[in-house]
């Protein structure tokens, strides 16, 4: 009888531990664009206008906790010029940063970054290099 009670208690403890560790899917709250980052990876200097030698930053802000794969597809002239993917897992609201720079400088024109969560598009932001 005591052994059965101990086994039930142990089984419940294991179930609670496993349930507490599981994370659902992420939810994207917003996408920030700018020239620099804060220490928490959110964008510090929001802008959609860049110079040829600037680094473009995109911060994907997710709500609550969860896990998933975030992808940033940087576009110029209608074609993808860079793609970055990060597998992430968070317990609370968080920012995931992506950045794009060009050693020789960006040509002037319209750029965009498309953000995907687990392979599905969740948002696009446009910017210009002047």
CB 25 within 8 A of CB 64: no
**pLDDT score, position 9:** 54
**pLDDT score, position 23:** 65
**pLDDT score, position 25:** 86
**pLDDT score, position 1:** 57
Angle at 78 between CA 73 and CA 79, to 5 degrees: 50
Domains of the chain: 24-129 (2.70.50.60)
Sorted by sequence, the CB contacts under 8 Å of residue 81 that are 6+ apart come out as: 74, 75, 100
**pLDDT score, position 93:** 96
CA end-to-end distance (rounded Å), the chain? 78
For the entire predicted model, the pTM comes to: 0.81
pLDDT by 10s per residue, the chain, length 130: 555 654 455 555 444 444 444 568 899 999 999 999 999 999 999 999 999 999 999 999 999 899 999 999 999 999 999 999 999 999 999 999 999 999 999 999 999 999 999 999 999 999 999 9
Residue 70, H or E segment:
strand 66-76
Q: d(Cα 102, Cα 9) in Å, to the nearest integer?
A: 58
């Amino acid at each position: 009888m005591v052994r059965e009670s101990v086994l039930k208690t142990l089984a419940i403890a294991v179930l609670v531990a496993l349930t507490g560790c599981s994370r659902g899917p992420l939810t994207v709250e917003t996408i920030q664009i700018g020239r620099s980052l804060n220490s928490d990876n959110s964008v510090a200097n929001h802008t959609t206008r860049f110079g040829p030698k600037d680094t473009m930053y995109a911060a994907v802000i997710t709500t609550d906790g969860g896990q998933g794969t975030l992808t940033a597809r940087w576009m110029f002239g209608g074609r993808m010029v860079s793609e970055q993917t990060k597998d992430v897992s968070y317990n609370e609201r968080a920012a995931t940063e992506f950045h794009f720079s060009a050693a020789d400088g960006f040509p002037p024109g319209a750029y965009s970054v498309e953000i995907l969560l687990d392979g599905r598009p969740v948002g696009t932001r446009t910017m210009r290099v002047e």
